[in-house]
């Protein structure tokens, strides 16, 4: 298999994975000529050839980073490289780079895999000022044939945030961090300062929780007075902000700069404990660096950290934003060096086994194989899938809607045929309607009677064999994006016109489920965003039955309006009787018979239905 990485960031991690993959596969790396991420070789990426295995091909290109007027140059170069070497997969690391999006648009003959390091933006990121790059990131994610996250629990997080199918998202371990071992001069026999050393390593950002460690310092040094805390890194938090928060400057070593790669091994070698007090994070490079250097960690239990750290064995997990818990965990390890050393050794063993780059490479290759097979299957149905997807997006008024890639080609053809015939039937029926706007899809066997009383909004769908009767005093009105389910019936009047009812109206984005019955003689008004499950019944009239000397069917009916307010859910088989108003945001349980008004945000169940709780109550 030939694998091509196009990466302008996360170069160090990519190099490690490339070396592991090169044992059995051909690997090509396309990196920028100069990278601010690389704190060795004067930032010149060509220097990485010293640590790359012979089977890895390194190509460096200019203008691969930032908004550069020459940004199209590396895209054209990358296109030529892809045509020349014909890789089976192109792999991006998490990218907000328009060049990646452009490359995907210009070269569609190869599947793309994107590693997603942060499925959700950190709370400190000013998204409003970076809308373009986040738009680009979302386009890349959607166009990728496969996405990689570094934790099993992150699959759903990414799927929910980016509105993607979880089936195209794969969990692959982050992997050990061997990169810095190339700059390691060996184990230190003793610490240079003779103190207990605590290390924070990484970017100085609010979400990293560096202030939580600073706040914990007085508690730590009260119990372990010879503690020194090293804060190493740089970021959006300024040194001035950090200095203001520090209570005891003598207990801190500040290294507020981009740490040279050659300096990193000594920082970790001298540390007794590595502290990562994140408020939020999905994965952590410093966590894996610590394990590679056999150092125990105290880390917040957020994101995928609990999947990597075995609490009490390879480190200690603490709740985020809790200086007291952090301090007690650090004190425990500083006062028990044998336990700290044991945890560090177990962490190193974990990195060399479960998190080894060799194992990560095997899992990654399995992902590539699945993506390649899915891509080949997808290409055969690509045009049909896109057409059907666009139609469904229009019908559902949801531009982010995606059909599951597992759908078979024959099913796509059947679906497109059904939509096409529905569209043609809609063209025929809409001519005689009172009012129609936008698309209209009508299934087979649909009965629309007295059409001059029926009005429909955009993207109206009448599924197979449903029946809509129009004759009524106020007419029958459907809002935008409304679906009437198969075999459902809407009847505002008597079937033969003996009694003319008040009418029926339903708002935008609401639906009538299959086999529902809407008896709107007394008038029924349904709001927007109302979900109606199968076999729901609404009766806006009651038969009179006061007299016993006259058959009931000859005594007429009493009309009482039913109102279903916005954002309600009528579950399967429930019945709403005449005169009832169901308040905004309420839920009617399956099989319930509602005879009285329902307050807003209520959940009702039973026969007769009773309020069992309010949705606004705290659980």
Task: Tell me the helix, strand and coil percentages in the chain, rounded to 5.
Answer: 35, 20, 45
> Are the beta carbons of 147 and 408 closer than 8 angstroms?
no
> Are the beta carbons of 484 and 463 closer than 8 angstroms?
yes
| Beta strand residue intervals within 216-363, DSSP E | 227-232, 252-255, 273-276, 297-300, 315-318
Residue 18 burial by Cβ neighbours in a 10 Å radius (0-12, 13-18, 19+) = buried
- DSSP secondary structure of 195-206: SEEEEEES---G
Distance between CA 110 and CA 414 in Å, rounded? 27
553 is known as an active-site residue: no
Residue whose C-alpha is closest to residue 30's, from 58, 1, 65: 58
Distance between CA 516 and CA 489 in Å, rounded? 6
CA–CA distances in Å: residue 492 to residues 475, 496, 504, 505, 532: 9, 12, 7, 10, 18
Angle at 216 between CA 215 and CA 221, to 5 degrees: 120
> Are the beta carbons of 427 and 493 closer than 8 angstroms?
no
- Helices (DSSP H) in 151-297: which residue ranges? 154-162, 210-223, 239-245, 264-270, 285-292
Q: Choosing from 2, 408, 543, 553, which is the catalytic residue?
A: 543
Angle at 442 between CA 438 and CA 444, to 5 degrees: 170
- Helices (DSSP H) in 271-314: which residue ranges? 285-292, 305-308
> Are the beta carbons of 15 and 42 closer than 8 angstroms?
no
List, in order, residues 6 or more apart from 105 with CB less than 8 Å away.
Answer: none
Q: Count Cβ atoms below 10 Å from residue 441 Cβ, excluding itself.
A: 23
Any idea which residues carry the catalytic annotation?
543
């Amino acid at each position: 298999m030939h694998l091509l990485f196009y990466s302008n960031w996360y170069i160090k991690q990519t190099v490690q994975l490339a070396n592991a993959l090169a044992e059995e596969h051909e690997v090509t790396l396309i990196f920028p000529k100069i990278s601010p991420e690389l704190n060795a070789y004067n930032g010149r990426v060509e220097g990485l050839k010293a640590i790359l295995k012979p089977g890895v091909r390194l190509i460096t290109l200019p203008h691969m980073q930032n908004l550069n007027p020459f940004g199209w140059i590396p895209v054209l170069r990358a296109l030529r490289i892809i045509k020349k070497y014909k890789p089976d997969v192109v792999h991006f690391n998490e990218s907000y780079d328009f060049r990646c999006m452009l490359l995907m648009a210009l070269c569609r003959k190869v599947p793309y895999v994107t590693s997603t390091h942060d499925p959700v933006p950190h709370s400190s990121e000013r998204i409003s000022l970076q809308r373009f790059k986040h738009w680009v990131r979302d386009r890349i994610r959607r166009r990728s044939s496969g996405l990689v996250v570094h934790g099993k629990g992150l699959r759903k997080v990414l799927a929910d945030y980016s509105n993607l199918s979880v089936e195209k998202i794969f969990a692959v371990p982050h992997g050990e961090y061997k990169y810095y071992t190339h700059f390691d001069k060996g184990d230190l026999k003793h610490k240079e300062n003779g103190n207990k050393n605590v290390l924070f390593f990484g970017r100085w950002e609010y979400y990293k929780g560096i202030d939580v460690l600073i706040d914990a310092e007085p508690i730590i040094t009260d119990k372990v007075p010879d503690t020194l805390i090293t804060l190493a890194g740089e970021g959006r938090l300024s040194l001035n902000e950090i200095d203001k928060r520090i209570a005891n400057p003598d207990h801190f070593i500040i290294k507020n700069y981009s740490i040279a790669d050659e300096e990193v091994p000594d920082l970790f070698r001298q540390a007794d404990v590595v502290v990562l007090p994140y408020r939020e994070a999905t994965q952590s490079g410093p966590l894996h660096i610590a394990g590679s250097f056999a150092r125990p960690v105290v880390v917040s239990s957020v994101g995928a950290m609990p999947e990597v750290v075995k609490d009490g064995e390879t480190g200690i997990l603490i709740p985020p934003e809790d200086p007291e818990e952090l301090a007690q965990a650090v004190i425990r390890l500083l006062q028990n060096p044998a336990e700290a050393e044991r945890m560090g050794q177990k962490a190193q063993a974990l990195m060399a086994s479960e998190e080894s780059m060799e194992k990560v490479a095997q899992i990654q290759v399995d992902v590539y194989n699945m993506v390649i097979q899915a891509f080949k299957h997808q290409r055969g149905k690509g045009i049909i899938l896109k057409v059907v997807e666009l139609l469904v997006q229009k019908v559902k008024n949801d531009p982010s809607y995606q059909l599951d890639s597992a759908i078979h080609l024959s099913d796509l053809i059947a679906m497109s045929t059904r939509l096409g015939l529905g569209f043609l039937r809609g063209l025929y029926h809409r001519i005689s309607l009172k009012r129609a706007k936008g698309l209209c899809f009508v299934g087979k066997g649909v009965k629309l009677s007295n059409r001059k009383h029926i009005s429909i909004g955009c993207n109206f769908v009448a599924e197979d064999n449903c029946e809509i009767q129009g004759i009524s005093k106020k007419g029958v009105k459907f809002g935008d994006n409304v679906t009437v389910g198969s075999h459902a019936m809407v009847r505002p009047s008597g079937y033969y016109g003996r009694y003319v009812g008040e009418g029926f109206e339903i708002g935008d984005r609401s639906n009538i489920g299959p086999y529902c019955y809407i008896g709107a003689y007394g008038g029924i008004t349904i709001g927007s965003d109302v979900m109606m499950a199968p076999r729901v019944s609404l009766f806006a009239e009651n038969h009179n039955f006061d007299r016993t000397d006259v058959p009931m069917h000859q005594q007429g009916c009493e009309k009482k309006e039913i109102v279903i307010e916005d954002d309600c859910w009528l579950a399967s088989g429930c019945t709403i009787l005449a005169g009832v108003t169901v308040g905004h945001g309420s839920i009617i349980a399956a099989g319930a018979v509602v005879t009285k008004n329902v307050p807003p945000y209520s959940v009702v169940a039973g026969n007769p239905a009773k309020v069992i709780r309010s949705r606004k109550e705290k659980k």
